[in-house]
Structure 1
C-alpha cells in the first residue's frame, strides 16, 4: 500500500494499516508534517461542558492520544493543560483550580493584561 503524504491524515492511515499487518510505503514531497499538519495549533482538549454535543468525542480523542503516546515512544505530545476565563473546567480533574492573575502570568507570560483570575484545567 502506498500512502501519499506524511501529514496527520497520511501518517494515521499508514499507522493503522501497518498495525493490521499491511506493508505500507509513505511518500512525502518534503518531510513528515511539512505542510498544514506541522503548522497547526493542534490543541487536544476535553475541556467542554458535559452537555456539549462534542463532549463524548473530545473525551474519546484524548483517550486515543494517551493510548497512542504509550504505543509510540517518540510521539511528542505536551500535556500542559488549559487556561480559561469565566467558566470552570468541565473535566473533574482534582488538579483543576482557580488561579490568581500572578499565577496566570507565570503560565502565560505573554498576556499583557490578564483578568484577576482564570481557571486552569490540568492535563
Structure 2
C-alpha cells in the first residue's frame, strides 16, 4: 500500500514538473516563432539618481516619439499565391487553449450560479 502511494506521489510530482517545463518551453517557442512584440507608440524613459544627504535631485523624464513617414500608403498587390492559397489558420495550440479557456469559464460561471442558488433559496 505504501509503495503504491509513494509511486503515485512520484508520478504526480513528475507530471507537475513536466507540465511546468513544457509550458516554459512553449512560451519561449512562441516568442521565437512570432518574434518580439513591438510598440508602435511613444516610449517613455525615466531615470532616478540618488543624491547625497541634503541635496534634492529631480528625476529625469524624456519622451521619444518615433518619426511618422510622410509617404503615401502603397497598395498591396495580390500574387497568385495569395489568391490560390487558403487564409492562414490559427495554430492548433492556440485553438486548444481557446477551447480550454472557454470551457473553464463556463464551468466557473455555472459553479458560481449554483452556489448563488443556495443562498437565493435560503433568503425566500
Same fold (TM over 0.5): no
Structure with more of its chain in helix, by fraction: 2
TM-score, structure 2 as length reference: 0.19
Higher relative contact order (CA 8 A, sep 6+): 1
Structure with more of its chain in strand, by fraction: 1
